[in-house]
Amino acid sequence: MRKGRRLNSGGLRLVYRKNDLGLSRLGLAVSRKYGNAVQRNRLKRQMREVFRHHAFGSLSVDVLLIPANRAENLLHPVADFNKALLSIESRVNR
């Protein structure tokens, strides 16, 4: 993902890049600095669910999500991620 485009939304950093697979993929890189195992797993579950419900499958985009802040500093990670996905969708469709 070194050649991917970067996008910051709230306390989340996203790196995205078009692929030739015909489907979209999500990668999650949540380090131990984010919080304990419960907080990390909850964030990952929520982000996967948002990604599944988003109409992103036909865009053929790889998305890597990296939380830039600790768990207690993120106010609305689900809303931030959803907003970022909409932004990526509009940028890719250009």
CATH fold of 5-89: Ribosomal Protein S5; domain 2 (3.30.230)
Q: What's the half-sphere exposure (Cβ side, CA atoms, 13 Å) at 37?
A: 0
Chain-centre distance of CA 1, in angstroms? 13
Residue boundaries of the structural domains of the chain:
5-89
Q: pTM value?
A: 0.89
Give the tens place of pLDDT for each residue, 57-89. Answer: 678 899 999 998 888 888 899 999 999 999 999
**Average pLDDT in the chain:** 90
